[in-house]
Chain A
Amino acid sequence: MKPLVRLLAVALASLAVAAPALASKDVVFAVASTFTTTDPYDANDTLSQAMAKSFYEGLFGFDRNMKLIPVLAEGYTASPDGLVYTIKLRHGVKFQDGTDFNAEAVKVNFDRVTNPDNKLKRYGLYKIIAKTEAVDDFTVRVTLKEPFSAFINDLAHPSGVMISPAALAKWGSKDIAFHPVGTGPFKFVEWRQPDYLKVEKWDGYWKKGYPKVDSITWKPVVDNNSRAALMQTGEAQFTFPVPYELAQVLKAKPDLELVAAPSIVLRYLSMNTLQKPFDDVRVREAIAYAINKEALAKVAFSGYAVPADGVVPDAVEYSVKLGPWPYDVAKAKKLLTEAGYPNGFETELWSAYNYSTAQKVAQFLQQQLQQVGIRTRITMLEAGQRVQKVESWPDPKTAPVRLYYVGWSSSTGEADWALRPLLASESWPPVLFNTAYYRNDQVDADIKGALATTDKVEKAKLYRDAQERIWKDAPWAPLVTEELLSAHNRRLTGVYVMPDASFNFTDIDLR
Chain B
Amino acid sequence: MTQYVLKRLAGLVPTLFAIGVLVFLFVHLLPGDPARLAAGPDATPETVALVRKDLGLDRPIAQQFVRFADGALHWNFGRSLSTKRAVAEEIAERFMPTFWLTVWSMAWSVVFGMAIGIASAVWRNRWPDRLGMTLAVSGISFPAFALGMVLMQVFAVDLGWVPAVGNDSWRGYVLPSLTLGAAVAAIMARFTRSSFVDILGEDFVRTARAKGLDERRVVIKHAMRNALIPVVTMMGLQFGFLLGGSIVVEKVFNWPGLGRLLVDAVDMRDYPVIQALVLLFSLEFIVINLAVDVLYGLINPAIRYR
Decide whether A and B are members of one complex.
Answer: yes
Q: Are B267 and A383 in contact (CB under 8 A)?
A: yes
Is B44 a contact partner of A235 (Cβ separation < 8 A)? no
Q: Across the interface, which residues of B come within 8 angstroms of A121, CB to CB?
A: 38-40, 43, 47, 50-51
* CB within 8 Å of B: which A413-456 residues: 417, 421, 430-433
**Chain A residues numbered 9-51 whose CB sits less than 8 Å from any CB in chain B:** 9-10, 12-13, 16, 34, 36-37, 43-45
A127 CA to B44 CA, complexed, in Å: 11
Q: Determine if B159 and A9 form an interchain contact, defined as CB atoms under 8 angstroms apart.
A: yes
Please tell me if the beta carbons of A123 and B93 are within 8 angstroms of each other in the complex: no
Contact of B260 among A122, A222, A233, A432 (CB under 8 A): A222
Which of chain B's residues 159-185 have a Cβ closer than 8 Å to chain A?
159-161, 163-167, 171
**Cα distance A391–B157 in the bound complex, in angstroms:** 41
* A37 and B83 in contact, given A44-B42, A233-B156, A431-B44 (Cβ under 8 angstroms): yes
B209 at the interface (CB under 8 A from A): no
**Cβ distance A59 to chain B, nearest Cβ, rounded Å:** 21
Name B25-62 residues within 8 Å CB distance of A: 30-33, 36-47, 50-51, 53-54
Contacts of B251 in A (CB 8 A): 222-223
The answer, yes or no, to whether B88 is at the interface (CB within 8 Å) is: no
- Measured between beta carbons, the chain A residues less than 8 angstroms from B93 are 192-194
Do A10 and B160 have beta carbons less than 8 Å apart? yes
Q: Which residue of A lies closest to B47 (CB)?
A: A124
- When the two chains form their complex, are residues A430 and B45 in contact, meaning their CB atoms are under 8 A apart? yes
- Cβ of A164 under 8 Å from chain B: no
B78 CB to nearest A CB, Å: 14
Q: Tell me, in angstroms, the Cα distance from A391 to B39 when the chains sit together.
A: 12
Stretch at the interface among A79-87, A224-232, A323-331, A488-496: A224-232
Nearest chain A residue, comparing its CB with the CB of B31: A388
Residues of A within 8 A of B64 (CB): none
Complex CA gap A45/B46 in Å reads: 18
CB atoms of A384 and B165 under 8 A apart: no
Does A177 sit within 8 A of B, measured CB to CB?
yes
Flag if B50 contacts A123 (CB, 8 Å): yes
Number of interface residues of A (CB under 8 A): 55
Question: Is there a chain A Cβ closer than 8 Å to B264's Cβ?
Answer: yes
Q: Which bracket fits the contact residues of B?
A: 35 or more
List the A side residues contacting B32 at CB < 8 Å: 383-388
Which A residues are in CB contact (< 8 Å) with B219?
A: none
State in angstroms the CA–CA spacing of A122 and B42 once bound together.
9
Q: For B261, what are the chain A residues with a Cβ–Cβ distance below 8 Å?
A: 194
Judge whether A233 and B39 touch: CB under 8 Å.
no
Say yes or no for B256: interface residue by CB 8 A criterion. yes
**What chain A residues lie within 8 Å of B260 (beta carbons)?**
194, 222
Return A240 CB to nearest CB of chain B, in Å: 16
Contact check: which of A122, A177, A226, A385 meets B164 at CB < 8 Å? A226
User: Is A174 within 8 A of B165, CB to CB?
Assistant: no
Q: Which of B160, B267, B269 contacts A12 (CB 8 A)?
A: B160
- Once the chains bind, are A411 and B42 in contact (CB under 8 Å)? yes
Residues of A within 8 A of B50 (CB): 116, 119-121, 123
Residue from A5, A12, A124 within 8 A of B43 (CB atoms): A124
Tell me if B237 counts as interface (CB < 8 A to partner A): no
- A37, B84: Cβ atoms under 8 Å? yes
Asked whether B153 is an interface residue with its Cβ less than 8 Å from the other chain, the reply is: yes
- B161 touches which one: A9, A226, A232, A432 (CB < 8 A)? A9
Q: A63 on the interface (CB 8 Å rule)?
A: no
Question: CB distance A233 to B157 under 8 Å?
Answer: yes
In the complex, what distance in Å separates the CA atom of A192 from the CA atom of B149?
A: 26
**B51 to chain A: which residues have CB within 8 Å?**
119, 121
If A37-B84, A124-B47 touch, whether A235 touches B164 (CB-CB below 8 Å) is yes
In the assembled complex, the Cα of A194 lies from the Cα of B85 at a distance in Å of 13
- Is A389 in the interface zone, CB < 8 Å from B? yes
- B103 close to A (CB within 8 Å): no
Cβ-defined contact, A233 with B30, below 8 A: no
A-B contact pairs, 22 of them (CB 8 A): A9-B160, A12-B161, A13-B160, A16-B171, A37-B84, A44-B39, A44-B40, A116-B46, A116-B50, A121-B50, A124-B46, A178-B85, A193-B93, A220-B254, A225-B152, A229-B156, A232-B157, A385-B31, A387-B33, A431-B45, A432-B42, A432-B44
Seed contacts A10-B160, A235-B166, A385-B31; 7 additional CB < 8 Å A-B pairs: A13-B160, A44-B41, A123-B46, A124-B47, A178-B85, A233-B164, A432-B44
